[in-house]
Amino acid sequence: MDRIDPLRTNRSQFLIPKVNGKTSIYFTGNSLGLQPKSTKQFVNEELNDWAKWGVEGHFHSKRPWLYYHKFSKKALAKITGAKPSEVVAMNQLTVNLHLMMISFYRPTSTRFKILIEAGAFGSDQYAFESQVKFHGLNPADAIIELSPRAGDHTLRTEDIVKSIEDKKDDIALVIFGAVQYYSGQFFDIAKITEAAHKAGAVAGFDLAHAIGNVPLQLHKHNVDFAVWCGYKYLNSGPGGMSGVFVHERHAQRFDLPRFAGWWGHQEKERFQMKKGFKPMTGADGWQLSNFPILTGAAQLASLEIFDAVGMIALRKKSILLTDYLEFLLKEIPDFENQFHIITPSQSRERGCQLSLLMKKNGKKVFDRITQTGVIADWREPDVIRVAPVPLYNSFEDVFQFAEIFKNALR
């Protein structure tokens, strides 16, 4: 499979960490993506231009800093299924979640609830809770958390849609992690968005575990807004660039409240320092601050690779890799007594991550595989998350991992 893999050469574009002097099996691209070898060059170019030009680099550097947020638009739009005007790289994920909610969570006295998946990522939960309190509401009344049916580990789309319908007069916002960070479930964005809109609510998504992992059609699926971070599958570096999607139909919603800053102001007037904020149309109008060039440069290095490969080819390999991993894990004798794969087994309901719910000795098994050169991820209380990433993981990685894991269970 590695020999006939059209993406086999991409692996050599990345720096793969070593454990005990040996190349690791890096299955944690869902937490921190690997460094492209080209990142140094991209960042160095900016450092050199800063040295050469000082402040004039805003105009004269190879990629003029004044317009830097524009350089990632095309690639981000392709990855998210958006128009370039609908996306912009800025800030960090939680900051962007707040900025989006200020505009798109508009509770009224009767319609003020937020529908989310139970067990959402901590930062998202805190953002929702604090937004609700900001509007003078009680999180216990305003946040509805959807849990899987008894005995299930993931939500069924029909149940999500039904919950939205049942509460159609109360819900102001439906917001899901598009790929759930713990279970790895890839939710049906189109169906959830459609149901939210039918109910008269706004639909938003946290793409932290989805962007660069699964195919997205945010524009076509009518999603109102989305946020993501760039340090997982997008390989933009620790704490790297985040971004937002705002659907075109909101491009000129200047009536919406928003927290403003000069980088969101009309570009031609930005330096005139006049009174009165006039937002740019599209996602750009939600920017606050001038662009962080060094982390932005790191992002461009990775986006260049994404652009060359394309999400279709990535997804194709991703499905093969993860299906292969699932197949090998289920070949382990007596596996049902040792672990349960809580991630859905249908490819269309998952990205590359598999979450293994350990029935016994979970932490011990995790420590053993770590000592044997696997870099994976342990989630309390009992889940090992593994993510073969199609850009840099091989079928051999998957095979080796399965062998190591099988031995660690003994």
Ligand X SMILES: Cc1ncc(COP(=O)(O)O)c(C=O)c1O
DSSP character string of 166-233:
HTTTTEEEEEEESB-TTT-BB--HHHHHHHHHHTT-EEEEE-TTTTTTS---TTTTT--EEEEESSST
68 vs 231, beta carbon nearer ligand X: 231
Is the distance from CB of 58 to CB of 66 less than 8 angstroms?
yes
Residue identified by tokens 């007594």 is: 337
Largest CA distance in the chain: 71
Question: How many of the chain's residues bind ligand X (CB under 6 A)?
Answer: 13
Provide, rounded to whole angstroms, the least separation between the CB of residue 27 and ligand X: 16
To 10 degrees, what angle do helices 93-104 and 122-134 make? 30
Single residue of 33, 177, 237, 388 touching ligand X by CB under 6 A: 177
**Tokens coding 156:** 């069924």
23: left (phi over 0), alpha (psi -120 to 50) or beta: beta
Provide, rounded to whole angstroms, the least separation between the CB of residue 389 and ligand X: 15
For residue 160, which of 125, 211, 209, 198 has the smallest C-alpha distance? 198
Name the residue number minimizing CB distance to ligand X.
Answer: 94
127 vs 199, beta carbon nearer ligand X: 127
216 contacts ligand X (rule: CB under 6 A): no
29 contacts ligand X (rule: CB under 6 A): no
Q: CA of 224: how far to CAs of 86, 101, 102, 190, 249, in Å?
A: 10, 11, 13, 11, 8
Only segment of 90-98, 142-150, 267-275, 309-317 that touches ligand X (CB under 6 A): 90-98
Sign of CA dihedral 172, 178, 184, 185: positive
Single residue of 7, 76, 93, 356 touching ligand X by CB under 6 A: 93
Only segment of 118-126, 218-226, 302-310, 370-378 that touches ligand X (CB under 6 A): 118-126
Q: What helix, strand, coil percent values describe the chain, rounded to 5?
A: 45, 15, 40
Q: CA of 267: how far to CAs of 23, 61, 64, 273, in Å?
A: 47, 19, 15, 11
121 contacts ligand X (rule: CB under 6 A): yes
Provide, rounded to whole angstroms, the least separation between the CB of residue 174 and ligand X: 16
Single residue of 38, 85, 123, 281 touching ligand X by CB under 6 A: 123
26 contacts ligand X (rule: CB under 6 A): no
Only segment of 61-69, 147-155, 204-212, 367-375 that touches ligand X (CB under 6 A): 204-212
Only segment of 130-138, 202-210, 262-270, 347-355 that touches ligand X (CB under 6 A): 202-210
Provide, rounded to whole angstroms, the least separation between the CB of residue 231 and ligand X: 7
Residue identified by tokens 């900025």 is: 99
Amino acid letter, 340: H
Only segment of 6-14, 121-129, 248-256, 398-406 that touches ligand X (CB under 6 A): 121-129
Could you give the CA distance from residue 199 to residue 171 in angstroms, rounded to a whole number? Answer: 8
Provide, rounded to whole angstroms, the least separation between the CB of residue 79 and ligand X: 17
154 contacts ligand X (rule: CB under 6 A): no
Single residue of 92, 125, 157, 361 touching ligand X by CB under 6 A: 92
Provide, rounded to whole angstroms, the least separation between the CB of residue 59 and ligand X: 30
The residues with which 379 forms a beta bridge, in sequence order, are 383
Single residue of 5, 49, 86, 124 touching ligand X by CB under 6 A: 124
Count Cβ atoms below 10 Å from residue 272 Cβ, excluding itself. 8
31 vs 361, beta carbon nearer ligand X: 31
Provide, rounded to whole angstroms, the least separation between the CB of residue 396 and ligand X: 28
| Three-class secondary structure of residue 356 per DSSP | strand
Only segment of 92-100, 156-164, 263-271, 345-353 that touches ligand X (CB under 6 A): 92-100
* Residue ranges that bind ligand X, judged by CB under 6 A: 92-94, 121, 123-124, 177, 181, 206, 208-209, 229, 242
